[in-house]
């Protein structure tokens, strides 16, 4: 090997060791940032979980119901009251708890007329 090649080899070794050190520094900085971000995320989760535990769920439901009732128009409120009065099987056409509708057309007569 000539002296010029030896000099180049030594220079490249020095450059590679410098780049390794710089790479290690960058990696350390990146890891510290990642760890700091993870720590902030954990603290944020603890705050959220702690605040949720303090609030009673029944209070949340009552507040939600009040907001929903406040945002309704008069027609919607009247209709919801009517539905409560009629119950599950209520008929909105008859406005009775059980439908009392009677057909006003004789089906048999109409079918016979259609066939003929």
CA angle 38, 43, 45 (to 5 degrees): 95
Single pTM value for the model: 0.32
Indicate the average pLDDT of the chain.
Answer: 78
**SS3 state of residue 105:** coil
Residue 72: inside a domain, yes or no?
Answer: yes
Residue 46: inside a domain, yes or no?
Answer: yes
Residue 54: inside a domain, yes or no?
Answer: yes
Give me the number of domains the chain comprises: 1
Q: What is the pLDDT of residues 63-97, one digit of tens each?
A: 888 887 777 788 888 888 888 888 888 888 888 88
Residue 49: inside a domain, yes or no?
Answer: yes
Residue 104: inside a domain, yes or no?
Answer: no
Residue 98: inside a domain, yes or no?
Answer: no
Residue 27: inside a domain, yes or no?
Answer: yes
Residue 66 and residue 72 in contact, taking contact as beta carbons nearer than 8 Å: no
- Predicted confidence band of residue 37 (pLDDT cuts 50, 70, 90): very high
Residue 86 and residue 95 in contact, taking contact as beta carbons nearer than 8 Å: yes
Q: What is the pLDDT of residues 88-103, one digit of tens each?
A: 888 888 888 888 888 7
Range of the domain at 12: 3-89
Residue 96: inside a domain, yes or no?
Answer: no
């Amino acid at each position: 090997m000539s002296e010029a090649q030896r000099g180049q080899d030594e220079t490249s070794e020095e450059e590679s060791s410098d780049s390794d050190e710089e790479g290690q520094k960058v990696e350390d900085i990146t890891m510290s940032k990642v760890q700091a971000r993870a720590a902030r995320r954990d603290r944020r989760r603890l705050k959220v979980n702690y605040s949720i535990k303090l609030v009673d769920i029944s209070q949340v439901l009552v507040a939600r119901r009040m907001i929903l009732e406040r945002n309704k128009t008069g027609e919607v409120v009247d209709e919801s009251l009517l539905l409560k009065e009629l119950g599950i099987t209520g008929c909105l056409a008859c406005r009775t708890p059980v439908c009392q509708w009677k057909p006003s057309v004789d089906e048999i007569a109409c079918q016979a007329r259609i066939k003929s």
